Structure 1
Amino acid sequence: MNRGFSTAAVAGGLLGFAAAAYPALWRDRCLNWGARADEITRKMPGDDLLPEAPVVSTRAIGIHAPASAIWPWLVQMGPGRGGAYTYDWIENLFGLNMHSADEIIPELQDLDAGDQIPLGEKTRMRVEILEQDHAMVLRSADGAWVWEFGLYPEAPSAPGGDLTRLVSRNRIQDPRTGLLNSALSLYVMEPGSLVMERKMLLGIKTRAEHLAAGQKQAARGEDPS
C-alpha cells in the first residue's frame, strides 16, 4: 500500500471521527467551559433580547475579588479601547485593533446604555443593559448576536476574602444558512470562540485579582507596588 495514501486515509479517518464525536462528546464542554449547572440554566439580563437563539454558550470563572474590581475591566473592553484581554495577535489578524490594557483607563469608564462599540469594520455592538457591578449586555446591529456579562458575588472564600463569579453568555442567531455555514459554525467558530473566551476570562481574572490585592494593600496603608 502506498505510504502516502495510508497516512492520508488514517488522517481522514481521525478527522471524520472527531467531526462525528464533537457534537456528542465535546460540544457541551466547549460551549459551557467553566460554568456550573446552575449558571448554565440561570436566567441572565439580556436573555430576552434573543430568546430563541439556536446557539448559546455560557462560560464562567471564579475571581477572588469583589465585583467592583472586575467591573472596570468589562466597561473598557473593545477595539481601540481596553482590548479583550485575549490573544491580541489573533484578533488583529482580522484588523480589530485590539491592545489589551493592564491598567484601568479612566476616560473609558463612562460607558452608558445606548453607546455603540465598533467591532471591526462591519460589526457594531450596542450597549443594551448596563447595571454597575452586575450586568453588561451588548447586541450587534443586526440583532443576531447578544453578548451578556454577569457578576455574581458569592460567600467569601476565606475570612475577609471575596469570590465573584464572572459569567459570559453568547446568544447567536447566524443569519447565514446552508450546510457549509453550519459546518463552519459548528467545527470552527465554536471551538475557536472557546480558545479566545477562555483566555479573556483568565485575563480578566488576573487583572481583577491584582487590582483587588492592590486596593487591600492601600487600605492597610501599605505600598501596593
Structure 2
Amino acid sequence: MRKTNFGLIAGGLAAALAGAVAYVVLLRDKVLTWGATADEVSRSLPGDELIPDPDITATRAIEIEAPPNRVWPWLVQIGSGRAGLYSYDWIENLLGYDLHSSSRILPEFQNLGVGDVVPLGPHGPRLRVESLRPGESLVLRGEDEPWSWTFALTDVGDGHTRLVSRNRFATGEPSAKTRLRNLAVIEPESLVMERKMLRGIKERAERG
C-alpha cells in the first residue's frame, strides 16, 4: 500500500513538473503577451520604475477602432463601486470583489486624480493612482502589495488606438509551491480575465 501511494504521489509530481515545463516552453510567452507586438512588450512604459525587479510581467494589448479620447473615459472609471472591470463579473464576484461592469460612461467617476484609490472589492486589493496623462496613460499601484498596473494609449492613426495593459508583480523569494501556483493558476487566470476586460473596453469604446 505504501509503495502504491508513493508511486501515485511520484507520478503526480512528475506530471505536474512536466506540465509546468511544457507551459514555460510552449505557452508562457503567449499567455503573458496576448495581443501585444514585440515593440509593445519591450518598450518602457510609465510605472515600470515602481516595480524595478518584477517576478511576473504581463504586457497585453488590443487595437480599438476609436480615438484615445473615446477610450480614456472607460479607463478612468474602473473599480469596485465604480464602473467595474468589464470582465467576467460573475467570476470576480465569486471572489467577493463586488464588481458590476457598466455599459455606459459614468460622469461621477470621470475626475480621477493622482492619489485617488481604485478599489477592486470591499475586501480586495486597493490600487492608488500614481500618475495619469489624460488620453495617454494611467498608472496604478497596489497599496498593500508590490504591484503596478499601467494602461497606455497610442493613437495609431485612422481613428484607431492601441491600448496596452502592463502588470508587474514582485513576489520576493517565492517558494517552489508559489512559483508553481503562479505558473499553473495566476498567469493563465490573469489572461482569461484581462483579455475579457480589454475586449470589453474595445466593444464599449467602438460602440460610442
Give the conservation status (yes or no) of the 8 Å contact 1:35–1:59: yes
Deviations 1:131-172 (A, max 9, x none): 10000000001351000000001121xxxxx11000000000
Partner of 2:47 in structure 1? 46
1:44 and 1:203 mapped to 2: Cα distance? 22
Deviations 1:196-223 (A, max 9, x none): 0000000000000001xxxxxxxxxxxx
Q: Secondary structure at the match of 1:34?
A: coil
Give the conservation status (yes or no) of the 8 Å contact 2:68–2:136: yes
Match of 1:144 among 132, 143, 146: 146
2:171 and 2:94 mapped to 1: Cα distance? 22
1:194 and 1:42 mapped to 2: Cα distance? 20
Superposed, 1:1-225 pairs within 5 Å as 17-120=18-121, 121-156=123-158, 162-175=159-172, 177-211=174-208
Q: How many residues align?
A: 198
1:183 to 1:49, Cα distance in 2 relative to 1, 3 A: same
The unaligned stretches of length 5 or more in structure 1 are 1-7, 157-161, 212-225
The alignment yields a C-alpha RMSD, in angstroms, of 1.8
Shift of 1:185: 1.1
Give the conservation status (yes or no) of the 8 Å contact 1:152–1:165: yes
Give the conservation status (yes or no) of the 8 Å contact 1:144–1:175: no
Deviations 1:85-126 (A, max 9, x none): 000000001111110000000001011010012223152110
The unaligned stretches of length 5 or more in structure 2 are 1-7
In the superposition, the TM-score normalised over structure 2's length comes to 0.90
Give the conservation status (yes or no) of the 8 Å contact 2:99–2:120: no
1:41 and 1:177 mapped to 2: Cα distance? 25
Q: Secondary structure at the match of 1:70?
A: helix
The runs of at least 4 aligned residues of structure 1 exceeding 6 Å deviation read none
Q: Secondary structure at the match of 2:127?
A: strand
2:143 and 2:52 mapped to 1: Cα distance? 17
1:132 to 1:86, Cα distance in 2 relative to 1, 3 A: same
Q: Secondary structure at the match of 1:125?
A: strand
Work out which of the two has the higher radius of gyration on C-alpha atoms and give 1 or 2. Answer: 1
